[in-house]
Every structure is written in C-alpha cells, then in structure tokens.
Amino acid sequence: MKLSTKKKIYQGIAFNLFRLMSGILVVVLISILSFIVVRGIGVISWDFITKMPEDGMTKGGIYPAIIGTLCLVAGSMLFAFPVGVLSGIYIHEFVKDNWFKRFVKLMTNNLAGVPSIVFGLFGMSLFVNTLGFGDSIIAGSLTLGLLALPVIIRTTEESLKSIDNVFREGSYALGATKIQTIRRVVLPLAMPNIITGFILSIGRVSGETAPILFTVAAYFLPKLPSSIFDQVMALPYHLYVLSTSGTDMEASRNMAYGTALVLIIIVLLLNLIANFTRSYLSKKVKH
C-alpha cells in the first residue's frame, strides 16, 4: 500500500473514533438533560414553585426548598465572596514568593480537592457541635462557604495574574499607593473574571448536598425559616429525599423530576449568566 494512503487510513480511523466517542458523550449528556426536561416540564407550574409540599411530599410544591437553597446560597456567598476575593488579592498582590505563599497556595489547592462530604463532617463538628449553632442556616452556609472559598480564591488569583504588570507600574509611577492601585486599576480590570467565578461558585453551592446533610437540611419542614438558626429544606437534599426515602416513592417521583429540572435550570441559567457577564463586562472594561 502506498505510504500516504496508509497514513490517511490510520488518520481516518483515529479521527472518526474520536469523533464517535465525543459524539457518544454529547448524546449521553443530551439524553440525561432531555430525560429530566421531558419528565419534569409537566410538573413545573407556578404552584409547584410557590406551594408547600403536601401529602407526604407527593403533592404540592417545593417552595420551602427553593427558599432554603436561596438562604444557603446567600449566606455562603456573603461569607465566601469577600473573604475569597480578599484572600486572592492578598496572595497575589501582597505576599512575596516565599515559602509562606507556596504553603498558602498549596493549602488552597488542597482545600479545593477535599470531598464535599468531608466539609460536611467538619461543619458538623465545628459549627453544629463545637460552636453550638445546631442544625441551622448559619452552620450550613458557613460550611458551603468554605467549600466555595478555594474556587473564588483561585479565580480571583487567575484574573489578577492575567493583568499585565504595566498597569500596576503605570499607576505606581503616578504616585499611587499599593491599595489605591489595586482598588482603582487592578480590580476594575479583574472584575469580569472574578464575577464569573462568583456566579459559577453559586452554581456549585446551590447543587451541593453532602455538606448540608448534617449541618442544616431538613427532611420535611413545610414552613419558612424565621432566623439564621433555623433548619431549612434545600433543593438538592429534597431531591435526594424524594428519590430515595420518601414515604411513597412512586407517588413522589413526579415531584422528584420537577425538583431535578429546577436544579438543572438553575445551573444552566447561572452558566449562561456567567458567560454573558464575562463577555459584557470585559467589553465594558475595554471601552
């Protein structure tokens, strides 16, 4: 066989195999999504979103779970966003490249890889038991916040790293202090990426189940929380309960499809918003 023909055949086989496997992957994902969308779309209605669960969670809505997840997201971000961004700034702009910086970075990277269930254990031990918050929004939020922290720190650091030093030097050359430089020059440039990271970490936090299992989530609690020391229901945990340990699993299946769809919609929306803000804000910065 001619050498060039042989090369072409091998290439053809390899490329088509890769194409096929990527294709399978897309098909799998689409089938997961469409399965849930098709089964769930009929369940979602205004009532579903705004009503309490009824009849052993086989009827009614998921209102308290939505509110609970919102509370948890808000609480965790209230903690994680400022701390994360400030940490990122500190690590990237202030610490010299010495063992301390490497250690902090190492720890941040390690924290990012710690499984969420370990965060759950830790949150239970520290916030629920040691600090005596009990199962509560504050304990759950802080646990989720810790989970989101390394993600926010990393995106902050990455976006700071991508800013050319000439901007900083330009500012210093005009007599600005370090803090002024960061506030007026560096941060505005880094903001699009930081915001994107922030939105994506919301997505992560809102879908997490393991960390809230023992820190906040309630199995069935058809009322809204009144203080940060209350337990709440949460969407992912609700889905878990509905699909594994409901009182009547067959009957609550529809509720489960609906809940799953709501979760997916949230993630999808957040992804879209993140992409949109990234392109919108970076355009704005450029002009």
Kindly tell me which residue out of 144, 149, 216, 218 binds another protein, with binding defined by CB under 8 A.
Answer: 149
184 binds another protein (CB under 8 A): no
* Number of residues counted as binding another protein (CB under 8 A): 89
In the chain the first and final C-alpha atoms are separated, in Å, by 59
According to the binding rule CB under 8 A, does residue 194 interact with another protein?
no
**How many Cβ atoms are within 10 Å of 55's Cβ, its own excluded?**
12
Q: Which residues contact 247 (CB under 8 A, 6 or more apart)?
A: 56, 57, 58
Q: Binding to another protein (CB under 8 A): which residues in 225-244?
A: 236-237, 239-240, 243-244
Member of 57, 137, 210, 216 binding another protein (CB under 8 A): 210
Stretch that binds another protein, among 41-49, 98-106, 164-172, 221-229 (CB under 8 A): 98-106
Using a 10 angstrom Cβ sphere, with 0-12 exposed, 13-18 middle and 19 or more buried, the burial of residue 251 is middle
Distance of CA 250 to the CA centre of its chain: 30
Write each residue from 242 to 261 as x if it is in contact with another protein (CB under 8 A), else as -, in one continuous string: -xx--------x--x---x-
Q: Which stretch binds another protein (CB under 8 A): 58-66, 83-91, 161-169, 279-287?
A: 83-91
SS3 275: helix
Q: How far is CA 162 from CA 165, 166, 183, in A?
A: 9, 12, 16
CA atoms of 200 and 196, how far apart (whole Å):
6
Is 150 near another protein (CB under 8 A)?
Answer: yes
- AA identity, residue 17: L
Q: How many CB atoms lie within 10 A of CB 135?
A: 20
Stretch that binds another protein, among 58-66, 167-175, 203-211, 224-232 (CB under 8 A): 203-211
3-state helix, strand, coil in the chain (%, to 5): 75, 0, 20
Identity of the residue, 190 or 226, whose beta carbon is nearer to another protein in the bound complex: 190
191 lies in the binding site for another protein (CB under 8 A): no
Residue numbers 40-79 binding another protein by CB under 8 A: none
Determine if 118 is a binding residue for another protein (CB under 8 A).
Answer: yes
38 touches another protein by CB under 8 A: no
Q: Which two tokens stand for residue 98?
A: 């010495």
Contacts of residue 167, defined as CB under 8 A and 6 or more positions apart, other chains included, come to 185, 186, 189
107 binds another protein (CB under 8 A): yes
Query: What does the block give as tokens for 16?
Result: 């088509």
| Closest CB 141 distance from another protein, rounded Å | 15
The nearer residue to another protein, 3 or 226, going by C-beta atoms, is 3
Nearest CB to another protein, comparing residues 194 and 213: 213
